[in-house]
Amino acid sequence: MTNKNFESAILEIRAGTGGEEAALFAADLFRMYSKYAQSMGWKQKILDAKPTDLGGFREVILELSGPEVFSKMKYEGGVHRVQRIPETEKRGRIHTSTATVAVLPKPKKTEIQIKPEDLKFEFFRASGPGGQYVNKRETAVRILHLPTGITVTSQTERSQLQNRENAMAILEAKLLERKRLAEIEKLSEERRAQIKRAERAQKIRTYNFPQNRLTDHRIKKSWHNLEDIMEGELDKVIKPLQKKLK
């Protein structure tokens, strides 16, 4: 029997402003969401990752599957701001950096139809931080969708076929998002503005480590147990968002 609440989502986390500290914060967000997914019993799979030398991520893309995945994660999209003393800071100054999060529903098979002739594939060697080759064979995949110009990559798997499947999953989610945004543009100006205010807010949340505080600016609420939240105890934040922003 199929669980009607079973959902899948593509989660993209990218380093924003702040250089290496932003990349380290992106890695912290990835770990937070990964631990939260584990606590919820969701399946998770890394579709692509671009790590840095110090253990951060310029970008990491994760697929989550399980009960109510998109329903819970959809409010995480936006700019996340961190205020803390970076490990690389010798003078003890607090820095402000950002990372962006995008949450895309994974399309059902009938929602997105892609013509084979609309795709251009490139294969290359997967590389790690500093350009070091992780794999000497050309297992990494880059796909260009010719009609839209959307480009996606995947290099996390040792198999070219698996990386191709991962890249296609990312592409399908991006095409569904593009289709949805096009439909929004057809709505009345007032309704369109309401949707964009709800979904495209810039700075949605601040993580203040010196004060052990997380603040969500959309609902003007703060929590003073940031360390626990970063360890995956995110439901206490998500539930109020679901209640007030639905």
Pair (65, 31) in one structural domain: yes
Pair (45, 88) in one structural domain: yes
Q: Is residue 80 part of a domain?
A: yes
Pair (66, 26) in one structural domain: yes
Q: Give the pTM.
A: 0.84
* Strands lying side by side in the sheet with 95-105: 43-51, 57-67, 6-15, 95-105, 78-84, 203-208, 213-216, 221-223
Q: Is residue 209 part of a domain?
A: yes
Count of all residues that appear for the chain in the document: 246
**Distance separating the N- and C-terminal Cα atoms of the chain:** 28
Pair (218, 172) in one structural domain: no
Residue type, position 28, single letter? D
Pair (121, 204) in one structural domain: no
- Which CATH number belongs to the domain containing residue 94 in this structure? 3.30.70.1660
Q: Show contacts of 214-217: CB within 8 Å, 24+ apart.
A: 216/240, 216/241
Rounded Cα distance between 26 and 23, Å, is 5
Q: Is residue 216 part of a domain?
A: yes
pLDDT tens for the chain, 246 residues: list them.
Answer: 345 677 899 999 999 999 999 999 999 999 999 999 999 999 999 999 999 998 999 999 999 999 999 999 999 998 999 999 887 677 778 889 999 999 999 888 778 889 999 999 999 887 665 444 445 568 899 999 999 999 999 998 889 999 999 999 999 999 998 988 887 777 666 655 554 544 444 789 999 999 999 999 989 999 999 999 999 999 999 999 998 887
Give the domain extent around 157. Answer: 116-185
Q: What is the pLDDT of residue 158?
A: 87
Q: What is the pLDDT of residue 164?
A: 94
